Structure 1
Amino acid sequence: MNPASVSTSSLAATVSTSLAEPSTSTDGHRRMFRRHRVRRHQTWLRRQGYVPFTAEAEDFAEFARRWAPYGGASGEETFLRFGMNTSRFSERLWQLVGEGQISNETAEQFADAYPAPPEWRNGNPRDESVSAVPVADNGSR
């Protein structure tokens, strides 16, 4: 066996292994920095009052907007898409509006097709200027 061929093949194996697997310390530091940056940005957004728009909210809003001109989706269509009946879909849709996942402007687009629950009929419960549940004043103080 030729010593030159052994060292060349072992050298080639070492080089190919080092090229295929980047240094874990550098790669790990990059990953940690990215995660830190994303977390810091998400914290800042939360402090600013921003609620991220989830994929579920996007699907619900888009589906409701698409079917609103026709008076809302049929029970069959709602069940096929989301696995729930129309009343449950409407309930979840307004729950997402209440959580801030769907804007009030978007909700106005489908309000006629998907009736708001009773607690929303006096205004958005999220809106502090409007009382969602009227409080009866019985005169006792």
Structure 2
Amino acid sequence: MNSREYRKWRQRRRAAPIGANRKHNHPDAEAERLIEFASKWAPFGGATEEELLVHFGMTLHRFIERLWQVIPESNCVENEILVLASAYPHPRRVGGPVG
């Protein structure tokens, strides 16, 4: 094993426990990715259409719809949900009653 191979082996060995011990807050990787992305952008009023298209290939409407599909199964605390709701209003709650 040369020095380069050893360095790669050592980096993989050190990184393995980090990934294995990481606590997941959400039921699946997609949900976690959506919620983490939305949470990062929430203080700024939410992500732009361009950011959503680049990162997820979705329109803003579809992103919000998908976000609110995964939130009920997630382990989000109430405060986090309130922050997300202010930046990404639930589609059924926008515009008031239908009819």
**Fold shared per TM-score above 0.5:** yes
Q: Deviations over 1:37-63 (max 9, x none)?
A: xxxxxxxxxxxxxxx621111111110
Structure 1: gaps (5+ residues): 1-51, 122-141
2:47 corresponds to which of 73, 93, 99: 73
Matches within 5 A, 1:1-141: 53-98=27-72, 100-103=73-76, 105=78, 106-118=80-92, 121=93
Distance 2:33 2:43 in 1: 17
Paired amino acid for 2:37: F
Percentage identity across aligned positions? 48
- Per the normalisation by structure 2, the TM-score is 0.61
CA RMSD of aligned residues (A): 1.6
Which is higher, the Rg of structure 1 or of structure 2?
A: 1
Distance 2:82 2:27 in 1: 17
Identify which of structures 1 and 2 has the higher relative contact order when contacts are C-alpha pairs closer than 8 Å and 6+ apart: 2
Deviation, 1:84, is 0.3
4+ residue segments displaced more than 3 Å: none
Structure number having the greater helix percentage? 2
- Per the normalisation by structure 1, the TM-score is 0.44
